[in-house]
Amino acid sequence: MLLENKVVLVTGASAGIGRAVAIGCARHGADVAINFGRDTAGAAAAVAAIEALGRKAVAIQGDVAEPATARAFVEGAVAALGRVDVFVNNAGICPFHAFLDMPAETFERTMRVNMHGAYFMVQAAANQMVKQGDGGSIIAMSSISALVGGEYQTHYTPTKAGVLSLMQSCAIALGKHGIRCNALLPGTILTDINKDDLADTGKRTYMEKRIPLGRLGEPDDLVGPTVFLASDLARYVTGASMLVDGGMFVNLQ
Ligand SMILES: NC(=O)C1=CN([C@@H]2O[C@H](COP(=O)(O)OP(=O)(O)OC[C@H]3O[C@@H](n4cnc5c(N)ncnc54)[C@H](O)[C@@H]3O)[C@@H](O)[C@H]2O)C=CC1
Ligand SMILES: C[C@H](O)[C@@H]1OC(=O)[C@H](O)[C@@H]1O
């Protein structure tokens, strides 16, 4: 198994991509600590699914927008599972809104959750890995939106570009410690984050038509790429980014 004896931490793992990735890593042999915001039932379901696979799991509540959450999550995970081998920064929000009347609070909250949250979480995980002294793998859930814009995502796309950039700089800062840092760039994956947006059937059909593989993504589509980057198969991969979008980005005409 690719992640045998590894401890994986995933933020925002009570639903969507984070939950799929947490359970997927357990399927490949990892013990898993999940951070979650408010969804206690979703977090409990993720823990139960991981334990049903014969792996250890712990769920730790905390708002990633608060810098103190990062240290508490890493410390709680180490207390429960012993160490941190892989850190997946996944928690994120995208409250769709037009640019010209974007409320300052919506802009600031999106920045704090997606960008500040990623920064302090990655920093806390990296410090633990440096302390352990035998490297690690950090993976950030960026987005196709790091590379292209969105009319109702002017507050969101800069955070995804920021997270991609964070992985590039951290790859340099942490390479000497044997810590690899990479970004995954999902396309459009059906989750709660875009449920309302894609309830517009015209928009959903348009998005589907843009995808050469012919369908929107599902959370499990991110498991393979995450497990690969987490595993020793990717031992010489750092500072890299991988689109997981069914080919949407390259589909000009
Ligand atoms: N669904 C998609 O099409 C795409 C999603 N992404 C990214 O993937 C990541 C996961 O999103 P999805 O699974 O799609 O959405 P989701 O809405 O299903 O999941 C987001 C998760 O983050 C958690 N979360 C939100 N704010 C939090 C906070 N302040 N503290 C702790 N946890 C918090 C939520 O509780 C939830 O578990 C996000 O970073 C998103 O930007 C990137 C590209 C495409
Ligand atoms: C929320 C969006 O539907 C989703 O998130 C992203 O990062 C991409 O823009 C997807 O379409």
pTM: 0.98
The residue whose CB lies within 8 Å of the most ligand 1 atoms, and thus the one to mutate among 63, 93, 121, 197, is 93
Q: What 3-state class would DSSP assign to 148?
A: coil
Domain 7-251: which topology?
Rossmann fold (3.40.50)
**Closest Cα to atom 7 of ligand 2:** 143
Q: CA–CA separation, 228 vs 189, rounded Å?
A: 19
pLDDT of residue 35: 98
Closest CA to 28 of 231, 242, 243: 231
Handedness of CA 105, 121, 92, 151 (dihedral sign): positive
Give the tokens for residue 82.
């012993």
Ligand nearest to the CA of 203: 2
Ligand nearest to the CA of 153: 2
The residue whose CB lies within 8 Å of the most ligand 2 atoms, and thus the one to mutate among 17, 89, 110, 153, is 153
> How many other CB atoms are found less than 10 A from the CB of residue 214?
9
Domain boundary assignment for the chain: 7-251
pLDDT of residue 105: 98
> How many other CB atoms are found less than 10 A from the CB of residue 215?
11
DSSP E strands in the chain: the ranges are 7-10, 31-36, 57-61, 86-89, 136-141, 179-186, 241-244
Question: Does the model's ipTM exceed the 0.95 cut?
Answer: yes
Pocket of ligand 2 contains residue 65 by CB under 6 Å = no
CA angle 132/137/141 to nearest 5° reads 135
Pocket of ligand 2 contains residue 145 by CB under 6 Å = yes
If you measure from the C-alpha of residue 151 to the centroid of ligand 2, how many angstroms do you get, rounded to a whole number? 11
Q: CA–CA separation, 79 vs 92, rounded Å?
A: 25
pLDDT of residue 208: 96
pLDDT tens across the length of the chain (253 residues)? 999 999 999 999 999 999 999 999 999 999 999 999 999 999 999 999 999 999 999 999 999 999 999 999 999 999 999 999 999 999 999 999 999 999 999 999 999 999 999 999 999 999 999 999 999 999 999 999 999 999 999 999 999 999 999 999 999 999 999 999 999 999 999 999 999 999 999 999 999 999 999 999 999 999 999 999 999 999 999 999 999 999 999 999 9
pLDDT of residue 129: 99
Closest CA to 58 of 126, 2, 9: 9
